[in-house]
Amino acid sequence: MTIHREGYGIIAISTLILGSIQTGNYFLYKYTDWLWLYLLLSIGALVMIYLVIQFFRIPNRKVVFSENDILCPADGKIVVIEEVEEGEYFNDKRIQISIFMSPLNVHANYNPISGIIKYVKYHPGLFLVAWHPKSSSENERSTFVTEHKNGQEVLFRQIAGAVARRICYYVATKQSVTTGEEFGFIKFGSRIDLLLPLDAKINVKIGDRVQSRITKIGELK
């Protein structure tokens, strides 16, 4: 396991703040002799720094995929599988698969297919809860489209939630990408939408717990 580079600054600041609080806690204990309060605050500080560090964890995972596989781009839970009218890029019907990422999930995001990035666009917006139906079109979000070598295109979208306040991505149009490579990161709870061709084979169902770079969402025809 490693720590994502997006977490270095936050972890350092959190450590300084919690260290200062713990120093004050120690002097309070020396003044009051309240051991129970000292232990309670000490445990609380340890839990907080653990939660911050685990949010930015990147587990070591072996990526195995076939040419037409659509790998899961994020850890989380499948909350939507439905046919929708996609209006930003395709302007036609697609299969939408949405993955809700809680603050306890790994928050790095990975390319679901190999190909050429055809479209990248950031949209400022609201911060509705990530499972809200309108979050896909009204929340802060970034949209990407990758063209597979067979000519089919897959749209995937990072969506900020009520807690997530920063979307990071590291790809650009005309860039060649490989399935399972990192393309972005979302800080503190969010959602990923996949918009797939109607004839794509789907291997997941609503309620499934999925893992990035491991779970096979489906296959392109």
For residue 145, give every residue at least 6 positions away whose Cβ sits within 8 Å of its Cβ, in sequence order, or none. 89, 117, 118, 119, 153, 154, 155, 156
Confidence of residue 126 (pLDDT cuts 50, 70, 90): low
Residues 205, 103 share a domain: yes
Among 12, 33, 58, the domain-final residue is 58
For residue 58, give every residue at least 6 positions away whose Cβ sits within 8 Å of its Cβ, in sequence order, or none. 1, 2, 3, 4, 106, 108
> What's the whole-number mean pLDDT along residues 130-136?
56
Has residue 12 been placed in a domain?
Answer: yes
Residues 91, 54 share a domain: no
CATH number for 143: 2.70.70.10
Residues 20, 77 share a domain: no
pLDDT at 27: 87
Residues 108, 34 share a domain: no
pLDDT at 181: 96
Residues 118, 20 share a domain: no
65 or 160: whose pLDDT is higher?
65
pLDDT above 60 for 208: yes
Has residue 144 been placed in a domain?
Answer: yes
pLDDT at 183: 96
Residues 94, 168 share a domain: yes
Has residue 63 been placed in a domain?
Answer: no
126 or 195: whose pLDDT is higher?
195
Write down the pTM of the prediction: 0.85
pLDDT above 80 for 19: yes
Residues 154, 194 share a domain: yes
Residues 115, 46 share a domain: no
pLDDT at 33: 82
Has residue 115 been placed in a domain?
Answer: yes
Has residue 64 been placed in a domain?
Answer: no
Has residue 86 been placed in a domain?
Answer: yes
80: its two tokens: 């939507």
| % of the chain at pLDDT higher than 70 | 90
Residues 137, 88 share a domain: yes
> What's the whole-number mean pLDDT along residues 206-211?
96
pLDDT above 70 for 182: yes
Name the average pLDDT for the chain.
89
Has residue 104 been placed in a domain?
Answer: yes
pLDDT at 119: 97
Nearest alpha-carbon partner for 154 in 221, 102, 77: 221
Residues 143, 167 share a domain: yes
Residues catalogued as catalytic: 190
98 or 164: whose pLDDT is higher?
98
Domains in the chain, number: 2
Give tens-digit pLDDT for 34-82: 888 889 989 998 998 888 888 888 988 989 899 999 999 999 999 999 9
Nearest alpha-carbon partner for 35 in 23, 25, 47: 25
**Distance (Å, whole) CA 41 – CA 152:** 55
Has residue 98 been placed in a domain?
Answer: yes
**Distance (Å, whole) CA 134 – CA 4:** 30
pLDDT above 80 for 127: no
Highest mean pLDDT among 47-61, 125-139, 154-168: 47-61
Among 32, 58, 84, the domain-final residue is 58
Tokens 């139906």 sit at which residue? 133
Among 36, 58, 80, the domain-final residue is 58
Residues 205, 174 share a domain: yes
pLDDT above 80 for 128: no
**Distance (Å, whole) CA 75 – CA 61:** 12
pLDDT at 6: 87
| Domain range for 132 | 69-219
Residues 23, 122 share a domain: no
